[in-house]
Amino acid sequence: MENIYSLMHGFAVVISPTNFLLMLVGITLGVLIGVLPGLGGANGVAILLPLTFTMTPTSAIIMLSCLYWGALFGGAITSVLFNIPGEPWSVATTFDGYPMAQQGRAGEALTAAFTSSFIGAFFAVIMITFIAPLVADFALEFGAPEFFSVYLLTFCSFVGMGKGSPFKILASMALGFALAAVGMDTVTGQLRLTFGFEELMRGFDFLIAVIGLFGIGEILISMEEGLAFSGKTAKIDPKVVLATWKKLPKFWVTSLRSAAVGIWMGITPGGATPASFMSYGLAKKLSKTGDNFGNGELEGVVAPETAAHAAGTAALLPMIALGIPGSPTAAVLLGGLLIWGLQPGPLLFVEQKDFVWGLIASMYLGNIVGLAVVLTTVPLFASILKIPFSIIAPVIIVICGIGAYTVNNVMFDVWMMLVFGVVGYLFKKLDYPLAPMVLALVLGRNAEDSFRQAMLSSQGSVSVMYSNWLVGSITTLALLLLFWPLISKAIALIRPPKEDEFAAHREAE
């Protein structure tokens, strides 16, 4: 078992006092970020990224990935105690988590949420340990057309699996690509789309976009809703934890099913949010107590949390193995790799063994440490939400501003952050998804390069996308997903659709 050996080596890399400390710092900051409005996984990582430039890549990725686990855990706290989902994937957790808190069972709900998160992540990490090296190995044979077809698949699946108007998904994606194209063209050396502005020569940094779209945009949205927190307090004492843990094994079928749903949705860029809804819906349908879902059923917390965390973790698989991230946060981490001087892609497993296995080992440890941290510190984080918004809002804007400045040390970026903030606010209100834009901004250059190389090898003929069975089938799948909104309409015309399980919940939200 070469994988096990490599993993053990990874553990040896991770367990140094410095890295362990960074892990704790990452988790704690992550939970904080997950709890605070306006700071989420993606822009939390984006803001802290510049601070890691001086660290070794392994230490940096350990801290930042732990930040991500922390944010995933933290989302559950606000959902259960305040009925405010800290992250979109915790929306389904509020359905049963908040009623439980109202009945005074907040401790039980939180314990269940954290433990399920942990279990979901654990299954996903095991999957990554064994599947990622295989995928990377397979992808070593990839040429430019194969890579472009995978990029195509990534972006088309946003259209195929997304909710809402496919044109808005396309617009958001194309906007990302257009912004990525601004600046110097690395192939011909020409300046593109800069319109003579010196500031635009460097191009748009995706970190600025992430901080603006998710950070400032979120603050504006929260402000508009006139956010006032009125939450339940929670103390988790060991007795409640143990009592809840005794109940949890009963739901092993739900856990396994949710983990499977989450892993699948995480690898394909469907993402954690639909995964959590889908697994909640499945649990409601299949559970014996399904009718009582929504009134504070423990299983209703277990299902979405397991799936969301499994999806969030599984999203890192395509990032490590192929260099193609499955979520905005994974995209930011990928951008980090580039900054630390690592070339993302299948070669990572060959050339940067320490880094990759250190990262995978830190996923195991990070989640264990994370579980311990959140179980012991919930009252602390819950009390942070009691701080008035008029203190939190300016502080978060200051943090975003500093984060935007430190990326390139130019003030122009801070102004751009405000612009992206307004764009994020408008897009959110009008149901444009932000993830395709961020992914396109990060991957734009790489996707374009592989497209150009593919075109070059075939002298401009698109037929290169069908030059062998592998490229052909990936491209076909991508096109199928791209036109899925049309296809599903056609199917619906022939056969009337079944009743939508989640419609009621989505409206209730």
Partner 1 sequence: MDQNLDSGDSVRAGVGTYVADAVVAGLILLLGIIVVVASWELGAGWTSDGPGSGYFPFGIGVILCISGIATIFQALFGKNKDTEVFVDHEQLKRVLQVLIPAIIYVGAIEVFGVYISSAVYIALFMILMGKFSIVKSVAIGLIINILFFALFEVWFKVPLYKGYIDLLTFLGYS
Interface residue list for partner 1 (CB under 8 A) = 50-51, 54, 165, 167-168, 170-171, 173-175, 177-178, 181, 185, 187-188, 190, 192-193, 195, 216, 219-220, 223-226, 388, 390-391, 393-395, 397-398, 401-402, 405-406, 409, 411, 414-415, 418, 421-422, 425-427, 429-430, 448, 451-452, 455-456, 460
CB closer to partner 1, 347 vs 455: 455
The least distance separating partner 1 from the CB of residue 402, rounded to whole angstroms, comes to 6
Distances (CA, A) of 47 to 13, 398, 400, 444: 26, 11, 7, 21
Task: Name residue, tokens 């699946």.
Answer: 157
The least distance separating partner 1 from the CB of residue 127, rounded to whole angstroms, comes to 34
Considering just the CA atoms, what is the radius of gyration of the chain in Å?
Answer: 22
d(CA 144, CA 298): 48
- Sequence-distant (≥ 6) Cβ neighbours of residue 313 within 8 angstroms: 120, 121, 124, 125, 128, 266, 363
Phi first, then psi: give them for residue 192, nearest 5 degrees: -115, 140
Distances (CA, A) of 239 to 142, 244, 299, 375: 54, 9, 20, 12
What is the DSSP secondary structure assignment for residue 235, as one 8-state letter? -
CB closer to partner 1, 11 vs 405: 405
The least distance separating partner 1 from the CB of residue 185, rounded to whole angstroms, comes to 5
CB closer to partner 1, 179 vs 317: 179
CB closer to partner 1, 346 vs 403: 403
The least distance separating partner 1 from the CB of residue 262, rounded to whole angstroms, comes to 27
The least distance separating partner 1 from the CB of residue 223, rounded to whole angstroms, comes to 5
Closest CA to 444 of 173, 199, 168: 173
CB closer to partner 1, 451 vs 483: 451
The least distance separating partner 1 from the CB of residue 191, rounded to whole angstroms, comes to 9
Task: Name residue, tokens 């739901």.
Answer: 251
CA 475 to chain centre: 25
The least distance separating partner 1 from the CB of residue 70, rounded to whole angstroms, comes to 19
CB closer to partner 1, 144 vs 315: 144
Render 295-311 in DSSP notation, one character per residue. Answer: SS-HHHHHHHHHHHHHH
Distances (CA, A) of 42 to 259, 386, 452: 22, 24, 30
CB closer to partner 1, 188 vs 463: 188
d(CA 138, CA 397): 44
